[in-house]
Amino acid sequence: MAKTVNIWIDGQALEVPDSMTIIEAADKHGIYIPRLCYHPDLPPTANCGVCVVEVAGNPAPKRACCTPVMEGMKITTNTKNLRSYRKTLVEMILSNHDVTCPTCAANNKCELQTLANNLNIDPDALPNILDKHPIDDSSLSIIRDVNKCIACGRCITVCNEVQTVYALTVTDRGIDSHVDTAFSRGMANSPCVNCGQCTVYCPTGALRERNDIDGVWEAILDPDKHVIVQEAPSIRVSLGEEFGMPFGSVTPKKMYAALRKIGFDSVMDTNFTADLTIIEEGTECVTKLKAGEKRPLITSCSPGWIKFMETYYPDLADCVSTAKSPMSMFGVLSKTYYAQEQKIDPAKIVSVAIMPCTAKKFEARRPEMRDSGFQDTDYVLTTRELIRMIKEAGVDFANIKEEEADEGMSFYTGAGTIFGATGGVMEAAIRSAYFLVTNTELPDLDIKAVRGLQGVKEATLNVPGFGDLRVAVAHGLSNARYVMDRVREGLATKGESPWHFIEIMACPGGCVGGGGQPYGNDIASRARRGLSLYEEDRSLPVRLSHHNPEVTRIYERFLGAPNSPLALQLLHTHYFKRSVNDGQITGEATHKHH
Amino acid sequence: MYLEICQKYAPEKDNLIYILHDIQDTHPQHYISEEAVQVVSEYLKVPPNHIFGVLTFYTMYSTKPRGKNIIRLCESPPCYIKGSENILRKLKTQLGVETGETTKDGLFTLELCACLGVCGNAPVMMVNNDVYGDLTEEKVEDILARIARGNQ
């Protein structure tokens, strides 16, 4: 039992663990202290000073975010002095800020905007002294507008400590200090892996995704184009929260209806190719296991993880599954299999993907993702961009009548849908790999050891005919680093990996916590969305990828068999080595299947 | 070359500042290049973005090539009160550069700095490791001419 202390906040007596800070104690008991740079998911940086409180016996105010509670502390959160102090701070921030709220990507979600409103700030209290800097739009995924940056440091904390990517830093000092990439080379020429966690934690619109909505509208409104759309697993549990529905509502059929209403010609589902990924990757895994391979198999769905691996662990690239991500499998199949089945000229097909992810924009533009003879996936929109499109089209999402997806590449199983949560790919793969090894079904489909938000999850499963299958699941790239270091060490010292099969997702929580997810994407909402995916899994008639009838059909009519030459050509890829200085390709890490 | 400088110090993070100074001091253009940062980063296992943050925080470091002689004029209040603004104007016209720039012949780079600790002789500037106090426009002209001659 942790030690507790007695404190008083605004006269209210509280007993709280002694490990807490004042702001944590206040939050726990529903007392709101105004704040700006503080975020409950991240260690405090104490940069902004808005969360000041008065502590009896101290002449100067204390920052609640970084002051630990102490026995007998008497804290006041609302005095004339504190109010004036906070107001001045926010006025000074606004005087050095590009105040363009109505057209800002973060409008209505901006923590600075909300705070200024709550504190009754006059935006013209101080003259604007902003010295405008150019916007960094070098990246395919993330736009950085330093004019909207308030130097809270959250992006730096998340990039360096949570993700250990080391793309962003604070440069210069005093009034000139700002967030930048090394040598101001821009995001595209930094080790940035495009995960977009910086856009999630940015309190303002200083970091946002590249907006690709216009290109999609243009394709939709072009009568010569056939626009096909796929949606990642996590999208169906994230849209409702933006349209007044209970958090975590499972809304695949409203999502299909809304997409059709927007004007997409064909509404399919990424979950279908998630099931297909399981068959391709599962077959690869079983082949490795049967051959007694000492090197592990590591999942390849997460594009942030892939670029991270190419940058920091290219020596282990051969351990990463060659299977493309579900999005890229869908992309290439939309211009081959689908075009063939529907008798549509693939040159006229525009393939759009709705992803919880900013890194998918980068993945879609990789030169190796052109196995259809075209760019396989033409546009990637984040969940946030789709929400804007739905609003722009005036669709009443909460009340729209549910519709089914189109047939052919949309049927999905429970295994496909849990791809969106950390551990989901592992669980889905084990369900099918067990069948591929033993020819019988796994007795209990719920593999709870790999679920949940623990940073690194490990499990050992007995598979008859094989023995103990050791697996690990990591989410968030600092956790991936831990796992990869242990693999590297195991291979170097013992000649084998501690695990046979490893799932890695770049974003904490997996795709439900992706960098393209709706604002307010904190750990608690990631957990809630993840649970919704497991609820959907339990509710679906089929929960095993190898029983997906559309997957069976695509092998019969098009691909032949799992890992067939055509499957290897279209559905598998290879990896590069990248520089830790600028993220650019320095050579090949693995070769394409021939 | 950069690695040799690094190897004079133990590969510990605490040595970052010393290594950077050493690299800058031995470079003919008195700066720390991207290439140097890469070498230091690998040697100390400190990410390049972090080193860049350190380089830009301390005004004594430069990430851009500089002239043979570096002029640092104090811009703190005591020097300002004693007319450092006029000295700055004089330096700019005499050298034909703005603050932070290097003369075309590569002889001088003009920079501003915080207090040099000799406020009694304000206005003050440093050229390389030498301090010059009680500056007047005539004195500046003299100092620059003398250094230029010495560099011929």
Per-residue pLDDT of A489-524, as tens digits, reads 999 999 999 999 999 999 999 999 999 999 999 999
Residue from the list B38, B47, B56 with its beta carbon closest to the beta carbon of A172: B56
Q: Are B10 and B47 in contact, with CB atoms under 8 Å apart? A: no
- Tell whether B53 and B90 lie within a shared domain: no
User: What confidence category does residue A176 fall into, taking pLDDT thresholds of 50, 70 and 90?
Assistant: confident
Q: What angle do CA A22, A23, A27 make, to 5 degrees?
A: 120
- Tell whether B53 and B73 lie within a shared domain: no
- Tell whether B40 and B74 lie within a shared domain: no
Question: Is residue B64 one of the residues assigned to a domain?
Answer: no
Mean pLDDT computed over A115-126 = 90
Paired tokens of B106: 């590569």
Contact B49 A160 (CB under 8 A): yes
- Tell whether B49 and B73 lie within a shared domain: no
Paired tokens of B73: 């004029």
Residues of A in contact with B64 (CB under 8 A): none
Residues of B in contact with A183 (CB under 8 A): 34, 37, 52, 63
Residue from the list A160, A171, A173 with its beta carbon closest to the beta carbon of B52: A171
Question: Is residue B123 one of the residues assigned to a domain?
Answer: yes
Q: Does B37 contact chain A (CB < 8 Å)? A: yes
Paired tokens of A313: 């662990």
* Residues with Cβ within 8 Å of residue A290, at least 6 apart in sequence: A437, A466
Q: Which residue do the tokens 């003009």 mark?
A: B110
Mean pLDDT computed over A250-257 = 98
Amino acid at A515: G
User: What confidence category does residue B31 fall into, taking pLDDT thresholds of 50, 70 and 90?
Assistant: very high
CATH 3.40.50.1780 fits A214-588, yes or no: yes
CATH 3.30.70.20 fits A91-209, yes or no: yes
- Tell whether B141 and B90 lie within a shared domain: yes
Contact A171 B56 (CB under 8 A): yes
- State how far the Cα of A172 lies from the Cα of A184, in Å rounded to an integer: 12
For residue A594, the model assigns a pLDDT of: 60
Q: Residue A101: how many CB atoms within 10 A of its CB?
A: 16
- Tell whether B77 and B139 lie within a shared domain: yes
- B84: phi > 0 → left, psi -120 to 50 → alpha, else beta; which? alpha
Q: Minimal Cα–Cα distance from B19 to chain A, Å?
A: 18
Residues of A in contact with B44 (CB under 8 A): none
User: What confidence category does residue A125 fall into, taking pLDDT thresholds of 50, 70 and 90?
Assistant: confident
Contact B52 A190 (CB under 8 A): no
Annotation marks residue A242 as catalytic: no
What is the total count of domains within chain B?
2
Annotation marks residue A284 as catalytic: yes
> Is residue A167 helix, strand or coil?
coil
For chain B, helix, strand, coil in percent to 5 are 50, 10, 40
Give chain B's radius of gyration (CA, Å): 17
For residue A23, the model assigns a pLDDT of: 98
Q: Residue A281: how many CB atoms within 10 A of its CB?
A: 29
Q: Which residue of A has its CA nearest to B63?
A: A183
Contact A181 B49 (CB under 8 A): yes
Contact B53 A170 (CB under 8 A): yes
Instruction: Tell me how far CA of residue A62 lies from CA of A59, A92, A151, A377, in angstroms.
Output: 9, 19, 20, 52
pLDDT, tens digit, 9 for 90 and up, residues A320-372: 999 999 999 999 999 999 999 999 999 999 999 999 999 999 999 999 999 99
Annotation marks residue A301 as catalytic: yes
Question: Is residue B63 one of the residues assigned to a domain?
Answer: no
> Is residue A351 helix, strand or coil?
strand
Instruction: Tell me how far CA of residue A449 lies from CA of A93, A113, A423, in angstroms.
Output: 46, 42, 9
Question: Is residue B50 one of the residues assigned to a domain?
Answer: yes
Residues of A in contact with B50 (CB under 8 A): 160, 166, 169
Mean pLDDT computed over B77-103 = 96
Q: Which of A159, A163, A166, A193 to mutate to test the interface with B (most CBs of B within 10 A)?
A: A166
Report the run of H or E that residue A322 belongs to, with start and end. Answer: none
Contact B50 A170 (CB under 8 A): no
For residue B60, the model assigns a pLDDT of: 87
Q: Enumerate the CATH 3.40.50.1780 domain ranges in chain A, comma separated.
A: 214-588
Q: Which domain holds residue B43?
A: 2-57
Q: Minimal Cα–Cα distance from B145 to chain A, Å?
A: 33
Report the run of H or E that residue A297 belongs to, with start and end. Answer: strand A297-298
For residue A1, the model assigns a pLDDT of: 61
We find that the CATH architecture of domain A4-78 is Roll (3.10)
* Residues with Cβ within 8 Å of residue A17, at least 6 apart in sequence: A2, A3, A4, A5
> Is residue B131 helix, strand or coil?
strand
Annotation marks residue A360 as catalytic: yes
**For helices A477-493 and A303-312, angle between their N-to-C axes, nearest 10 degrees:** 50
3-state per-residue secondary structure call for A38-96: CCCCCCCCCCCCCCEEEECCCCCCEECCCCECCCCCEEECCCHHHHHHHHHHHHHHHHC
Mean pLDDT computed over A184-198 = 97
> Per this entry, what is the length of chain A?
594
Q: In what order do the strands lie in the sheet with A52-55?
A: A12-17, A4-9, A74-76, A52-55, A62-63
- State how far the Cα of A383 lies from the Cα of A386, in Å rounded to an integer: 5
- Tell whether B33 and B77 lie within a shared domain: no
Q: Which residue do the tokens 């002449």 mark?
A: A59
Q: Are A112 and A118 in contact, with CB atoms under 8 Å apart? A: no
For residue A93, the model assigns a pLDDT of: 95
Mean pLDDT computed over A54-67 = 96
Question: Is residue B62 one of the residues assigned to a domain?
Answer: no
> Is residue B108 helix, strand or coil?
strand
- Tell whether B95 and B133 lie within a shared domain: yes
For residue B151, the model assigns a pLDDT of: 77
Residue from the list A173, A183, A580 with its beta carbon closest to the beta carbon of B52: A183
Q: Which of A190, A234, A266, A321 is catalytic?
A: A321
What is the CATH number for B84? 3.40.30.10
Q: Which of A360, A385, A497, A545 is catalytic?
A: A360
- Tell whether B49 and B74 lie within a shared domain: no
Distance of CA A337 to the CA centre of its chain: 29
Q: Enumerate the CATH 3.30.70.20 domain ranges in chain A, comma separated.
A: 91-209
- Tell whether B73 and B145 lie within a shared domain: yes
Q: Which of A242, A284, A427, A536 is catalytic?
A: A284
User: What confidence category does residue A122 fall into, taking pLDDT thresholds of 50, 70 and 90?
Assistant: confident
Q: Are A169 and A180 in contact, with CB atoms under 8 Å apart? A: yes
User: What confidence category does residue A2 fall into, taking pLDDT thresholds of 50, 70 and 90?
Assistant: confident
Question: Is residue B95 one of the residues assigned to a domain?
Answer: yes
Amino acid at A289: L
Query: Is ipTM beyond 0.95?
Result: no
pLDDT, tens digit, 9 for 90 and up, residues A131-163: 999 999 999 999 999 999 999 999 999 999 999
Paired tokens of A11: 């006269």
Paired tokens of A298: 């590591």
Q: Enumerate the CATH 3.10.20.740 domain ranges in chain A, comma separated.
A: 4-78
- Count of A-B CB contacts under 8 Å: 47
